Amino acid sequence: MAHFHADRSGPTSLPCSKDINPPKKRIWYESHRMHDETLIAARPVNAFAVSFQKFFRGELLAFPVNEWVEDVYIFKFLKMQMSAAATRAILGPRIIDLNPGFIDAFWEYEKVPEILAFGLPPWLNKRAVNIRDRFGAMCRKWYELSDREFNWDGPDRDADWEPVFGSQVSKGLAQWAKDFNFSTKSISGAFALFIYGLHANAIPICTWLLFELLKDPKLFKAIKAEIKQAEISKHDSSLYFDHKVLTTLPLLQSVFTEVMRLHVGVLITRKATESVTIAGYTLPKGSIVQAPTEIAHFDEAVWGEPGHPASEFWAYRHVKEIETTDTDGRHAKRLEFSISGKTGSFFPYGKDIPAKVPLGIDC
């Protein structure tokens, strides 16, 4: 924490304090830059889409088709199989192979970060501390071995994926922490929190999405027909999905947006850089402001439609039907995804989004 506390320049491209360090010495700024380059840029997104599908396909092989299954637990299945595939795609397979029970340990850990951050001190919160330390030890065991074996000056440093550290963001996180002289324990903790961010929201949201599709056979059929547009075959004859096409499919986008609107609840936190007046209340410079997203996400005036109140799931809330004409003059109707005019009331990632930005649905 001392490293973060010492950097007063903030995460933005322009330092917010007079203590100006070169960009390479600004810990927050370098963290944001690293994630921009290795997590959300086109190249790492493409690489993750391919590697995740490969590992998830491997997980599915454990469940043969045409065999009767007495009990189906959707959330348990995604918690185990989807998180294993995503972990291997991001961090490589070794972290799971080295640590028996790793996925179970993660889901125990998933329950405690908020308790640890906002709850009792460690000496009154031993169970949560023990869970954190157990999972942190697993991450440390993997990181120490990987760091010893990985050639940081070799060609794999720039590879989209390799078996030691996995993806570019995994290598970027390790290199960023090493550059700022983080201890091995701190680096392991950073990876533990990164894994938390990877799974803790995406998997529950995908579970809710599946629930809604299975509740409505007609909607399920429409989604299956739509995603066929994204099917591609690789050289090994396996079926993959083009994630670039998936993120443009209007009905799938609408369902995903609706699930996030209903089931993502965060406290949007901002710091006043100058004195400001909001709703008649003056907030001095430096004030911390928090707003729950549920207030905006359930605003009837913004999201409500006749017969479809904002409190209920409606798959078609975020699409509109438009008429098109082809070169032969033939007319057709198609769906178009849009939340135009509502972006100021939609905060699935802690901030509003542009009206026609495709939402990430690679998970």
* Domain ranges (residues) in the chain: 39-200, 203-345
Domain 203-345: give its CATH architecture: Orthogonal Bundle (1.10)
Contact 30, 23 (CB under 8 A): yes
Report the amino acid identity of residue 150.
F
From first to last of the 363 residues of the chain, give the pLDDT tens digit.
777 777 777 766 677 766 666 777 888 889 989 999 999 999 999 999 999 999 999 999 888 888 887 788 999 999 999 999 999 999 999 999 999 999 999 999 999 988 888 778 888 899 999 999 999 999 999 999 999 999 999 999 999 999 999 999 999 999 999 999 999 999 999 999 999 999 999 999 999 999 999 999 999 999 999 999 999 976 566 789 999 999 999 999 999 999 999 998 888 888 888 899 988 999 999 898 888 999 999 999 999 999 999 999 999 999 998 988 777 778 888 999 998 888 889 988 765 444 333 334 333
Q: What is the pTM of this model?
A: 0.88
